[in-house]
């Protein structure tokens, strides 16, 4: 049930035919975990909070540094040195006091991932390294939780949604993250953002799109990004979408799965 204050706050959502009162109520009862409170997680958290997602979890074990502020807009200069989850929680509460914030000031590992993820309906992964992306995607499969996965390059970005634990209309299991990217690149072949740089506004674009995709999954309008990958080329300001399907040989939900738990990540 939405209060009179909430009805006013979300009025521009509620007048949308695709959202309306039922959609806003669904947002209020939704539980979303955001992995990372950095360049992608910052806009994700702010837009999901503004949209009225009832419970937002944020997992990050890092502290705010001055170099973060070029793109991590949920933090401010006075927050330098604070745990990112605490800084993010403060900003979310300022933006929307109706949102419950649950902070997890830990590094996501094979030992804690399932326990964290099981408490949420959707996970939005804004991590900045391949090991975490594979861990999160595998954990979401075992926990049967929808995953919105974004990845940011120097002038490029990509976005997809994973529901590998579910079947499509044809009765076939949906693709996994490993169907799209079977193996991570060899260590050292992809430079970190400290080494290669990152365009702050591009992080904002992709993070906003990730929040939009999570909202679409919660409310249920439009065509899902399950089995589709959106790619952004910021140099040419070009957006492309490609389709991908389940690989029967993938080790997670393939015909002969080799990954049966998260021990591969230990």
User: Where exactly are the structural domains of the chain?
Assistant: 14-265
Write the pLDDT tens digit of every residue in 167-177. 999 999 999 99
Q: How far is CA 115 from CA 14, 126, 134, 136, 218, in A?
A: 34, 19, 17, 12, 22
Other CB atoms closer than 10 Å to residue 64's CB: what's the count?
Answer: 24
Lowest-confidence segment of 118-122, 197-201, 248-252 by average pLDDT: 197-201
Predicted pLDDT at 176: 98
Write the pLDDT tens digit of every residue in 203-243. 999 999 999 999 999 999 999 999 999 999 999 999 999 99
Please name the residue ranges forming H helices in 30-144. 41-51, 84-95, 113-117, 130-143
**34 strand-pairing partners:** 58, 124
Q: Which fold has domain 14-265?
A: Rossmann fold (3.40.50)
Cα(95)–Cα(145) distance, rounded to whole angstroms? 27
- State the pTM of this model: 0.97
Q: How far is CA 25 from CA 49, 219, 221, 241, 266, in A?
A: 14, 9, 14, 31, 39
Predicted pLDDT at 144: 98
Predicted pLDDT at 249: 97
CA 122, 126, 130, 131 torsion-angle sign: negative
Position 263 pLDDT exceeds 90: yes
Position 197 pLDDT exceeds 90: no
Mean pLDDT of the 12-20 span: 98
The structure tokens listed for 134 are: 């594979």
Mean pLDDT of the 144-155 span: 96
């Amino acid at each position: 049930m939405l209060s009179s204050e909430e009805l006013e706050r979300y009025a521009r959502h509620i007048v949308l035919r695709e959202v309306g009162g039922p959609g806003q109520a669904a947002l209020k009862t939704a539980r979303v975990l955001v992995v990372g409170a950095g360049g992608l997680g910052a806009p994700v958290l702010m837009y999901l909070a503004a949209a009225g997602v009832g419970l937002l979890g944020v997992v990050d074990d890092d502290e705010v540094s001055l170099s973060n502020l070029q793109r991590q807009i949920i933090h401010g200069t006075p927050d330098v040195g604070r745990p990112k989850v605490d800084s993010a929680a403060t900003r979310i509460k300022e933006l929307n006091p109706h949102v419950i914030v649950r902070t997890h000031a830990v590094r996501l590992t094979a030992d804690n991932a399932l326990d964290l993820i099981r408490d949420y309906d959707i996970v939005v992964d804004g991590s900045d390294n391949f090991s975490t992306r594979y861990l999160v995607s595998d954990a979401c499969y075992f926990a049967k939780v929808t995953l919105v996965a974004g990845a940011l390059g120097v002038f490029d970005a990509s976005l997809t949604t994973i529901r590998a634990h579910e079947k499509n209309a044809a009765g076939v299991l949906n693709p996994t993250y490993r169907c799209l990217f079977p193996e991570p690149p060899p260590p050292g072949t992809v430079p970190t953002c400290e080494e290669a740089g990152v365009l702050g506004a591009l992080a904002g674009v992709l993070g906003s799109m990730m929040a939009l995709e999570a909202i679409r999954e919660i409310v249920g309008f439009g065509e899902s990004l399950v089995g589709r990958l959106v790619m952004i080329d910021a140099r040419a300001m070009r957006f492309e979408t490609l389709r991908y399907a389940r690989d029967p040989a993938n080790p997670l939900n393939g015909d002969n799965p080799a990954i049966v738990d998260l021990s591969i990540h230990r």
